[in-house]
């Protein structure tokens, strides 16, 4: 049996790297060497802590922001080729080893599915729909930087479905990887002004991503600062954190007739708002997202230099897979927005 290394949440609070069976591609699957993965402050941290709203059965292989390079093809694969760089590659569950997956991206090898071939061959969508995240990116993209494509696609889909347009004002609450992605999307859309409420250490990053206003969430006079900047309130407010009371706290910053969205999952299912805190009627956007629908747009924005992974990742100092626990420690300590992990030693 061929083995590989993978990062496994053994049980809540315990992350380890150990040898597991290497997956074998099926008819419509491509075996990929996994190159780099990025930490997700929300999903990954909640999975490690055992607080994810839809938990796996532990132990489980972690990671959903990985880039793989195709090295072998199943006989039914025709839309992927050897050498392709593919997004969201991960190993499947390995029941023979007693392992579930949290998408399985923090491993040395994984599988990408040729969902288009399955669709063309008339297979039911239930078998290939989830694989639509396996998309090819340009060969000249840096695979370490390309780990950000996953965050950018998901947040851009959510942002677009909210209906934000050029000339409208946007306030993002939260300065993590997703919050900064929303700031960048707002700036690229032509929203005016773009603002963020977040950690004081991240305000300069928010400005670099396109924020005109950046507010320290701990400021004693936060309400006064926001009122001075936007006396009529913002057209859109996005809560990228999802802690209890946060969106409710932000309601007075919304203009009458504005729209709010709750994207973060920190206290999933426990967040409530008191509508009377708002200036008037407002819309709660609950349109979700579909990550693959924005793939081409994100690739174009990256190619145009309008999305720069260096604002999120320290590309010069990736963590080796063996030290992935240190990567998460650095993120928890807010030493970096997200950490990039090199998945193969070669």
Predicted confidence at residue 42, as pLDDT, reads 86
Question: Is there a contact between 135 and 122 (Cβ–Cβ < 8 Å)?
Answer: no
Owning domain of residue 19: 3-144+313-342
Question: Is there a contact between 110 and 20 (Cβ–Cβ < 8 Å)?
Answer: no
Q: Which of 2, 119, 130 is nearest to 64 (CA)?
A: 130
Predicted confidence at residue 238, as pLDDT, reads 98
Are 134 and 243 within one domain?
Answer: no
Q: Is residue 250 part of a domain?
A: yes
Q: Is residue 279 part of a domain?
A: yes
Give CA–CA dist 340/330, Å, rounded.
11
Residue 143's contacts (CB-CB under 8 Å, 6 or more residues apart) are 35, 36, 67, 69, 85
Q: Is residue 302 part of a domain?
A: no
Q: Is residue 116 part of a domain?
A: yes
pTM of the model: 0.97
Count up the domains in the chain and report the number: 2
Q: Is residue 254 part of a domain?
A: yes
Are 156 and 276 within one domain?
Answer: yes
List, run by run, the mean pLDDT of 10-residue segments along the chain (346 residues).
Answer: 95 96 97 97 90 92 97 98 98 94 96 98 97 98 98 98 98 98 98 98 97 98 98 98 96 98 95 96 97 98 98 97 97 95 88
- DSSP symbol at 268: T
3-state DSSP assignment of residue 17: strand
Predicted confidence at residue 127, as pLDDT, reads 96
Q: Which of 225, 236, 231, 216 is nearest to 174 (CA)?
A: 216
Give CA–CA dist 286/216, Å, rounded.
27
Give the largest Cα separation in the chain, rounded.
65
Buried b (16+ CB within 10 A) or exposed e, 110-139: bbbbbbbbbbeeeeeeeebeebbbbbbbee
Q: Is residue 278 part of a domain?
A: yes
Predicted confidence at residue 41, as pLDDT, reads 82
The domain that holds 266 is classified in CATH as: 3.40.50.720
Residue 122's contacts (CB-CB under 8 Å, 6 or more residues apart) are none
Secondary structure of 20-46 in HEC code, one letter for each residue: EECCCCCCCEEEEEEEEEECCCCHHHH
């Amino acid at each position: 049996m061929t083995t590989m290394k993978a990062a496994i949440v053994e049980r809540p609070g315990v992350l380890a790297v150990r040898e597991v069976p290497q997956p074998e591609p099926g008819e419509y699957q491509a075996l990929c060497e996994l190159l780099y993965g990025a930490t997700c402050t929300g999903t990954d941290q909640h999975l490690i802590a055992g607080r994810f709203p839809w938990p796996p059965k532990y132990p489980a292989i972690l990671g959903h922001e990985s880039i793989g390079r195709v090295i072998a093809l199943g006989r039914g694969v025709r839309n992927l080729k050897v050498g392709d760089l593919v997004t969201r590659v991960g190993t499947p569950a390995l029941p023979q080893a007693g392992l579930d997956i949290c998408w399985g991206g923090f491993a040395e090898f994984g599988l990408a599915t040729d969902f288009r071939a399955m669709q063309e061959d008339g297979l039911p969508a239930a078998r290939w729909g989830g694989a639509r995240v396996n998309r090819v990116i340009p060969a000249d993209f840096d695979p370490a930087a390309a780990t950000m494509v996953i965050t950018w696609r998901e947040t851009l889909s959510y942002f677009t479905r909210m209906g934000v347009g050029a000339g409208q004002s946007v306030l993002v609450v939260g300065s993590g990887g997703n919050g900064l992605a929303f700031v960048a999307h707002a700036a690229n859309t032509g929203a005016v002004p773009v603002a963020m409420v977040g950690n004081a250490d991240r305000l300069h990053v928010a400005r670099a991503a396109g924020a005109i206003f950046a507010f320290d969430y701990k400021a004693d006079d936060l309400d006064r600062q926001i009122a001075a900047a936007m006396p009529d309130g913002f057209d859109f407010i996005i809560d990228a954190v999802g802690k209890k009371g946060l969106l409710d706290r932000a309601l007075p910053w919304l203009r009458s007739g504005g729209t709010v969205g709750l994207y973060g999952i920190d206290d999933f299912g426990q967040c409530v708002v008191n509508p009377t805190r708002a200036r008037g009627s407002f819309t709660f956007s609950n349109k979700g997202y579909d990550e693959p629908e924005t793939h081409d747009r994100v690739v174009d924005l990256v190619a145009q230099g309008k999305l720069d992974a260096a604002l999120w990742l320290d590309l010069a100092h990736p963590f080796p897979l063996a030290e992935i626990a240190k990567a998460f420690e650095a993120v928890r300590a807010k030493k970096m927005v997200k950490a990039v992990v090199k998945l193969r030693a070669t």
